[in-house]
Homo-oligomer: A and B are copies of this chain.
Amino acid sequence: MITDSHIIDTVSAHHLFSALTEAEFQQLFSTAKTCKIEPLENVFHQGDKASRFYLVLRGHLKLYRTSPSGQEKVVELMREGNTFAEALMFNNKPFYPVAAQAVSASELITFDNDTYLKILKSNPEAGIAIMANMSIRLHHDLYEIEMLSVENAKNRLLLFLMQNIQDKDGNEGVIELDIPKRTLASLLSIQPETFSRLLKKLAKEGLIEERRGHIRIINIDALYAASDIPVQPVTGGNNE
């Protein structure tokens, strides 16, 4: 029987388990196993029979596929708190389509598919509660992806501005765009609406002025500071 409180806490916090009743949790744990995996050791190989799914308690693993020509392609990285192979269980797939290998020394807990599915089938309310968790998790991910994408877009725009300063005068600079803004947004892989929003934001912060393809950078240092780099330059000096 697993009694380690770190393990119980990690499992309880996961969206697949947090909605289970105490009795269901005990039922699931009675068929769970923990295992330690050394770096480069495989948890399973591509094509192995899939009767269990896994939760990473510690460490870092890769899921990978090997092509007929022997080339390895990493399809996903798994860290503490991530589960893997549970989608196969839900989909009733009999074999692992990828291999799982530890990148760093790892510890896993593995659950029996049949036991988990039996709980869901005997108690649809448990299933709905788990869907609530998954749904909240999906909204959270959507938000994170949105934020990261905007952050990335901002970084790409800042990098572009830094690269393209044409006339530099002290802390000021000028960029004449020779392509339409819509085309530039597309080249920078930024949604047109995000692109306009970012330019407006920089203008509002007093960092740039923009009019008809002419961008004046009012304060190059402040533009750097507007990036998400939370450090001051190592030297205070001018690079020229």
Contact = CB atoms under 8 A, between A and B. Distances in A.
A149 interface: yes
Nearest to A160: B229
A233 to B, nearest CB: 5
Interface string A152-165: 10011011101111
Q: Main SS of chain A's interface residues?
A: helix
A3 interface: no
B166 A237 contact: yes
A135 B240 contact: no
A229 B189 CA distance: 9
Interface in A137-182: 137-139, 141-146, 148-149, 151-152, 155-156, 158-160, 162-166, 168, 173, 175-179
Contact of A124 (B120, B164, B175, B235): B120
A233 B152 contact: no
Contacts of A23: none
A1 interface: no
A198 interface: no
Contacts of A229: 156, 159-160, 163, 188
A236 to B, nearest CB: 11
Interface of A: 60, 75-77, 82, 84, 86-87, 90-91, 117, 120-121, 124-125, 127-132, 134-139, 141-146, 148-149, 151-152, 155-156, 158-160, 162-166, 168, 173, 175-179, 184, 187-189, 193, 224, 227-231, 233-235, 237, 239-240
